[in-house]
Amino acid sequence: MKSAEAAHPPADEGTMAVRTGAPRVNWRGVVAVGGFLVLWEVLVRLQVPGMAAVPGPIDSLGVFWSKYASRPSYWESWIASFRRVLAGFLIAQFLGIPLGLLLGMRRYFRELVFPVIELLRPIPPLAWVPLSILFWPSHELSIVFITFVGAFFIIVINVYDGVRGVRREHIWLARSLGASETRIFRRIVLPSVLPAIGVGMTLGMAVTWNVVIAAEMIAGDNGLGRLTWEGYVSHTSAVVIIGMVSIGLAGYLSALVIAWIERRLAPWRKAGRSR
């Protein structure tokens, strides 16, 4: 007779964290970030070639604390960049997801529209900056448009590939059992495409941050990209570092939100990883 412990082996630490909902801290990542900061400071203090003119993390933190932490304009730059990213990202999802679904499910629509998508998709988002400045009545709208372009084609292609990856046997079987097209879409196509939507959102958010920062440097009058550019123009390296770190933190926070949304869209993927 097997003991209770043998019949129910103890769960590992990762599984326990998932089941109990306790937050799991990636200590290896914390150590890696700390080691990077220490190495950065050591290289600056030793004046290694290429690092002599770069401020260390301690000096950069001092400048941030003394000049930017309590300055409202700095936090307004965060809000401006987040507002542009959110606007462009949401518009890209609102238009890109239905378009990707139509491209994957309607052959005639795909043959008509997909060549246009393939023609425009290789154009870098920043190449649209001059045209967007001329086309839109304000710099704010032109920056939002650039962020939209950065995420739009990524979500369209990911959703399209997700639809094309649906197993045709499942659709044929559902039709043979009398399922309507609406039910097939809700029960088979949409659940199969949700992981692809999550991947498209993750990639689109990363590209959106890259694009909005560059657009703010070119056409914006505020935002984290503009802050970084002003530090470069004024030859204030510490301000450039502050802007870069702020951009990294903003992108990381956005990635956490997208990861949370992705877990809600496809909770079975999380369960699969925990086993």
**What is the pTM (predicted TM-score) of this model?**
0.78
224 to 46, 79, 196, 241: CA distances (angstroms) = 30, 9, 30, 11
Within a domain: residue 59?
Answer: no
Within a domain: residue 254?
Answer: yes
Q: Do 81 and 40 sit in the same domain of this protein?
A: no
Within a domain: residue 104?
Answer: yes
Within a domain: residue 67?
Answer: no
Number of domains, the chain: 2
Q: Do 122 and 18 sit in the same domain of this protein?
A: no
Note the pLDDT of residue 270: 56
Task: Find the radius of gyration of the CA atoms of the chain.
Answer: 24
pLDDT in tens, 6-56: 444 444 444 444 444 455 777 888 888 889 889 988 888 888 887 777 888
Distance (Å, rounded) from C-alpha 254 to C-alpha 66?
27
Q: Do 28 and 82 sit in the same domain of this protein?
A: no
pLDDT at 100 over 50: yes
Higher-scoring residue by pLDDT: 99, 168: 99
Within a domain: residue 162?
Answer: yes
Q: What percent of the chain has pLDDT over 90?
A: 20
Domain boundary among 9, 27, 45: 45
Q: Do 95 and 229 sit in the same domain of this protein?
A: yes
Note the pLDDT of residue 17: 45
Q: Do 88 and 149 sit in the same domain of this protein?
A: yes
Place of tokens 């529209």: 113
Q: Do 191 and 257 sit in the same domain of this protein?
A: yes
Confirm if 81 and 144 have CB atoms less than 8 A apart.
no
Within a domain: residue 95?
Answer: yes
Higher-scoring residue by pLDDT: 105, 78: 78
Higher-scoring residue by pLDDT: 34, 4: 34
Within a domain: residue 92?
Answer: yes
Q: Give the tokens for residue 63.
A: 């400048």
Q: Which of 220, 197, 230, 74 is nearest to 147 (CA)?
A: 220
pLDDT at 253 over 50: yes
Distance (Å, rounded) from C-alpha 67 to C-alpha 62?
8
Confidence of residue 269 (pLDDT cuts 50, 70, 90): low
Region 164-172: what's the mean pLDDT? 76
Confirm if 132 and 146 have CB atoms less than 8 A apart.
yes
Q: Do 161 and 267 sit in the same domain of this protein?
A: yes
Q: Which of 31, 230, 219 is nearest to 140 (CA)?
A: 219
Instruction: Compute the half-sphere exposure of residue 12: CA atoms within 13 Å on the CB side of its CA.
Output: 4
Region 92-112: what's the mean pLDDT? 90
pLDDT at 89 over 90: yes
Confirm if 117 and 156 have CB atoms less than 8 A apart.
yes
Contacts of 272 (CB under 8 A, 6+ apart): none
Q: Do 130 and 173 sit in the same domain of this protein?
A: yes
Please state the separation of Cα 53 from the chain's center in Å. 32
Range of lowest pLDDT (30-44, 172-186, 204-218): 172-186
Q: Do 212 and 97 sit in the same domain of this protein?
A: yes
Q: In this structure, what CATH number is given to the domain that contains residue 270?
A: 1.10.3720.10
Instruction: Compute φ and ψ for 49, nearest 5 degrees.
Output: -50, 130
Note the pLDDT of residue 91: 94
pLDDT at 99 over 90: yes
Q: Do 100 and 25 sit in the same domain of this protein?
A: no
Confirm if 74 and 230 have CB atoms less than 8 A apart.
no
Note the pLDDT of residue 79: 92
Range of the domain at 177: 73-274
Region 137-149: what's the mean pLDDT? 88
Angle at 224 between CA 223 and CA 227, to 5 degrees: 90
Q: Mean pLDDT: which of 65-69, 116-120, 184-188, 217-221 is highest?
A: 116-120
